[in-house]
């Protein structure tokens, strides 16, 4: 996992552009909670989905999650059906739907929904398929324990 100084520097670069007036929201996937990532972030809006919460099962991660929820550090939001459908369509169009779990779809949908609300979205994830879609949809991602993808790609030659 990134140390807290590296993490702070990486987060700061997403909100430091003076031309950017959108509020930053960080969408957390399961890897973020398993690493305790949510406890390292301060002063940011952190959101996740109900399915992500259900995937957090080990004792330490559950304890950290409960702390974050009890102090309102993280909000749990179910994305709307419209954005779930949009996430599925995008994944089908680029040929990676088979790589995504229902939880992954929810994370992508929540990111798309907040982008649609005018937020600058940063998705904290180690999942390469999620990173790929996030990048193709002009959003940013922050890997937790991995290097992350270098550039997005489509598996099909054209969109339908």
Count of CB atoms situated within 10 Å of the CB of 53 = 17
pLDDT surpasses 50 at 1:
no
pLDDT surpasses 90 at 136:
yes
User: Rounded to the nearest 10 degrees, how much is the dihedral formed by the CA atoms of 117, 65, 38, 75?
Assistant: 20
- Work out the mean pLDDT of the chain and round it to a whole number: 84
Q: What is the pLDDT of residue 158?
A: 46
Supply the pTM of this predicted model. Answer: 0.81
Backbone angles phi, psi at 47, to 5 degrees: -135, 155
Q: Give the pLDDT band (50/70/90) at residue 117.
A: very high
Q: Closest by alpha carbon to 97, among 125, 130, 67, 122?
A: 130
Model confidence pLDDT, tens digit, residues 51-94: 999 999 999 889 988 988 888 889 999 999 999 999 999 999 99
What does the block give as tokens for 120? 């600058």
Q: What is the pLDDT of residue 153?
A: 62
pLDDT surpasses 90 at 149:
no
Domains of the chain: 23-142 (3.40.50.1010)
């Amino acid at each position: 996992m990134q140390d807290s100084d590296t993490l702070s520097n990486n987060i700061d670069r997403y909100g430091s552009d003076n031309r950017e007036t959108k509020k930053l929201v960080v969408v957390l996937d399961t890897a973020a909670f398993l690493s305790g990532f949510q406890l390292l972030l301060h002063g940011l809006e952190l959101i996740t989905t109900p399915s992500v919460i259900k995937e957090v099962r080990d004792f330490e991660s559950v304890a950290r999650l409960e702390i974050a929820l009890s102090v309102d550090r993280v909000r749990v939001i179910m994305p709307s059906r419209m954005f779930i459908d949009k996430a599925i369509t995008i994944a089908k169009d680029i040929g990676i739907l088979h790589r995504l779990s229902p939880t992954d779809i929810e994370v992508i949908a929540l990111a798309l929904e907040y982008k649609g609300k005018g937020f600058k979205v940063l998705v904290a994830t180690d999942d390469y398929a999620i990173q790929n879609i996030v990048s193709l949809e002009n959003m940013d991602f922050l890997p937790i324990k991995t290097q992350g993808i270098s550039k997005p790609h489509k598996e099909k030659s054209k969109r339908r």
